[in-house]
A = this chain, B = another copy of it.
Amino acid sequence: MQSDNPTAAILVIGDEILSGRTREGNAHHLAQVLNATGFDLREIRVVADDHDQIVAAIRALDRSLGGAYDLLFTSGGIGPTHDDITADAVAAAHGTTVEINEEARALLQARCERMGTELTPNRLRMARVPVGARLLDNAVSAAPGFSIGNTHVMAGVPEVFRGMVDWLIPRLAGGRPVQSQTVEVRRGESEVADELGVLALEFPDLSLGSYPYHDERGWGTNLVVRGLDAGRVGAAMAELKKRLGL
């Protein structure tokens, strides 16, 4: 698909995904949001709670550090426990250090006062943010995410992650949202490959995908046309349906 939308990557930090304990869902949610708001998501990486691995991934993915993509979003590893090492790793990747952010401390302090609890040293750990970072707000918890360079650092708890995405994405300059149309056929992929191949040559500006599945009735395939121009997407889908006799 031809696009000059900003490119993006997602870095998920979490042993719980790699151990199979948790099925990743934050990247899936953000992928949908990015496509709808004009960002071209090119890569997702899941790495362990490992300082060196996180630093290397951030450097490889954030263009402001010489990496491959315009924007990098991370999920996970910002919290109060010993294994929450994302802030330190992000700081190291961006060549800075971590400090108690006074704005974040004030947010946490206000939250504790509302809840009638103490701002313990563990809670205060959530105000540890790289020097020079801007805070990300969220409606769910007082622990802030943050942005530094082109890296946007968000929580792993799904509800908090979504809150941060809702706050952050409208503040970033996206491009044109992706338009897509889908048609489902009860045929295997090899039965529709010729029609798709011809159409791909006719519509080089679009992305034509075929996603086969297998269920109790046998094989079926979802055919998806994607592109930035709704008229072109509609024209390609009409042509595809005609060729398939639908």
Nearest B-chain residue to A198, judged by Cβ: B82
Flag whether A45 is at the interface (Cβ < 8 A): yes
Do the beta carbons of B189 and A80 come within 8 Å of each other? yes
Bound-complex Cα distance A197 to B123 (A): 14
**Contact across chains for B19 and A190 when beta carbons are under 8 A apart:** no
Q: Is A92 an interface position by the 8 A CB rule?
A: no
Is A102's CB within 8 Å of the partner chain B?
no
Interface flag for A120 (CB, 8 Å): yes
Contact pick for A157, options B21, B24, B158, B214, CB 8 Å: B214
Q: How far is the CB of A164 from chain B (nearest CB, A)?
A: 13
Contact check, B28 vs A81: say whether CB atoms are below 8 A apart: no
Specify how many copies of this chain sit in the oligomer.
Answer: 2
Instruction: From the candidates B49, B79, B180, B193, name the one contacting A81 in the complex (CB within 8 A).
Output: B193
A214/B141 contact (C-beta < 8 A), A15-B207, A126-B190 known: yes
Interface residues on A, range: 35 or more
Is residue A160 contacting chain B, with contact meaning CB distance below 8 A?
yes
Residues of B within 8 A of A53 (CB): 42-43
The residues in A between 6 and 27 inclusive whose CB is less than 8 angstroms from any CB of B are: 15-25, 27
- Listed A/B pairs (22) with beta-carbon separation below 8 Å: A15-B226, A17-B44, A18-B31, A18-B43, A19-B178, A19-B180, A20-B28, A43-B47, A43-B48, A44-B45, A44-B46, A45-B45, A45-B46, A79-B190, A80-B190, A81-B192, A82-B197, A83-B209, A83-B210, A140-B214, A159-B213, A159-B214
Q: Which residues of A contact B (CB under 8 A)?
A: 15-25, 27-29, 31-35, 41-49, 53, 79-83, 120, 122-123, 125-126, 140-141, 157-160, 178, 180, 189-194, 196-197, 200, 207-214, 224, 226
